[in-house]
Amino acid sequence: MRAVRIERFGDPSGMVVTSIPEPVAGRGQVVIATEAIGVAGVDAVIRRGTLAGYGFSEGLIPGSEVAGRVTDVGEGIDPTWVGRRVWAFTGHGGGYAERAVARIEDVAALPDGLSSIDAVALGSAAPVAHFALTHAHFAAGESVLVRGAAGSIGVAAVELAARGGAGAVAVTTASPERGKRLVEFGATHLLDRAGDPHDGAAAAAPESYDVIIDIVGGAAMPAFLDRLAPNGRLVLVGVVAGAPPADFGSRFLAPGAFQQSRSFATFSLDTVAPPAKDAIRAEQFAAAVRGELHAVVHDVLPLDGAADAHRRMDAGEVFGRIVLTP
């Protein structure tokens, strides 16, 4: 079968389409004929080699999120799964392929009315946004800043914060045009990557925020700690710009900052119990069918367009998520 392999860490030219054996379902696993493959920010971080120290190596088939139909089941799995439409998390690899393997606990049946393409735009991103806001103890009336809001996690965080009654939802984006697209999802204040108002922004942004959801990380992240209100919470859910400086915590001890009782946390879905993840994901899929939550798909490309998808992500052109189809 056809798959995309990272032959060399670095720029997208290191990704190639290759032929590999079809996967076989092991105990507790299913094989899925992929109809849609999500291209996530973490895929680009892995491709660059940023996470090589975490066990990722060249030769990896990237991709963690697919949707399609189950074609085979392993030992211990109800055979009635065969033929069902599903979304699945494949771990941190194996998704960019015509067939993928997933553990049954990482598989969710798709409701009628939700396409495979929309499923991979929501299946990981929307639960991350939901639980990140929960991790931040977000409450109605509070001000929220979503840093790096134009990706799939960011769009979901904006929409969920607005639906949750946020007093203000500010966003950072690479351009005013991208920010304006987020207004329809609930954004109230449009900022540039540095956190300053975009030219022509209609309303003055809050000086500080109760909650910051940060998908970017990188060298600029510490400056956003200074934008937290007293008792404010910043939750880091991604590092698309790389890891923050090792000494960023010193910001909390700067003169006057200690007395603000600000806090920082990381968040990963790995820390959420499977039943809770499953329940929220099913609820969000149903909300998408009802039109209450929106899958934002920037483009749909063939499998051999994976390198082009990554080039667009690296250039900051993507709004929402690019989806690959075999």
Using one digit for the tens of pLDDT, what is the confidence trace for 39-73?
A: 999 999 999 998 888 889 999 999 999 999 999 99
> Residue range 69-92: average pLDDT?
97
Please tell me whether residues 130 and 261 are part of one structural domain: yes
Q: Evaluate whether residue 309 is within a structural domain.
A: yes
CATH of the domain at 202: 3.40.50.720
Asked if 267 contacts 212 with a C-beta cutoff of 8 angstroms, the reply is: no
Q: 174-178, 257-261, 295-299: which has the minimum mean pLDDT? A: 174-178
Please tell me whether residues 249 and 151 are part of one structural domain: yes
Tell me: pLDDT of 202 over 60.
no
Q: Dump the DSSP string for 130-189.
A: HHHHHHTT--TT-EEEEETTTBHHHHHHHHHHHHTT-SEEEEE-SSHHHHHHHHTTT--E
> Residue range 21-30: average pLDDT?
97
Tell me: pLDDT of 294 over 60.
yes
Tell me: pLDDT of 158 over 70.
yes
Asked if 84 contacts 69 with a C-beta cutoff of 8 angstroms, the reply is: yes
Tell me: pLDDT of 27 over 60.
yes
pLDDT of residue 51: 87
- Domain that residue 174 falls in: 125-269
Please tell me whether residues 103 and 129 are part of one structural domain: no
Task: Give the confidence band of 305 by pLDDT, cuts at 50, 70, 90.
Answer: very high
How far is CA 14 from each of CA 6, 46, 193, 205, 316, rounded to the nearest angstrom?
6, 12, 28, 41, 19
Rounded to whole angstroms, the Cα distance separating 76 from 54 reads: 31
Please tell me whether residues 57 and 149 are part of one structural domain: no
pLDDT of residue 52: 85
Q: Evaluate whether residue 290 is within a structural domain.
A: no
Query: Considering the chain, what percentage of its residues have pLDDT values greater than 90?
Result: 92
Please tell me whether residues 35 and 99 are part of one structural domain: yes
pLDDT of residue 298: 97
Q: What six digits make up the tokens of 156?
A: 């979901």
Q: Evaluate whether residue 12 is within a structural domain.
A: yes
pLDDT of residue 173: 93
Q: Evaluate whether residue 282 is within a structural domain.
A: no
pLDDT of residue 198: 83
How far is CA 104 from each of CA 21, 101, 195, 250, 273, rounded to the nearest angstrom?
21, 9, 42, 43, 15
φ and ψ at 264, to 5 degrees? -130, 140
CATH of the domain at 308: 3.90.180.10
Please tell me whether residues 23 and 52 are part of one structural domain: yes
Please tell me whether residues 53 and 82 are part of one structural domain: yes
Please tell me whether residues 129 and 237 are part of one structural domain: yes
Q: Look at residues 233, 252, 269 and tell me which one is the last residue of a structural domain.
A: 269
Tell me: pLDDT of 200 over 90.
no
Q: What total of structural domains would you count in the chain?
A: 2
Q: Evaluate whether residue 115 is within a structural domain.
A: no
Q: Evaluate whether residue 303 is within a structural domain.
A: yes
Task: Give the confidence band of 75 by pLDDT, cuts at 50, 70, 90.
Answer: very high
Supply the mean pLDDT for the chain. 96
Q: Evaluate whether residue 262 is within a structural domain.
A: yes
Tell me: pLDDT of 258 over 70.
yes
pLDDT of residue 201: 60
pLDDT, tens digit, for every residue of 203-254? Answer: 688 999 999 999 999 999 999 999 999 999 999 999 999 999 999 999 999 9
Task: Give the confidence band of 194 by pLDDT, cuts at 50, 70, 90.
Answer: very high
Asked if 69 contacts 32 with a C-beta cutoff of 8 angstroms, the reply is: yes
Non-local (6+) Cβ contacts of 291 within 8 A are none
Please tell me whether residues 73 and 12 are part of one structural domain: yes
Q: Evaluate whether residue 304 is within a structural domain.
A: yes
Instruction: Tell me which range, 61-65, 254-258, 312-316, is most confidently predicted by mean pLDDT.
Output: 61-65
Please tell me whether residues 100 and 133 are part of one structural domain: no
Please tell me whether residues 103 and 156 are part of one structural domain: no
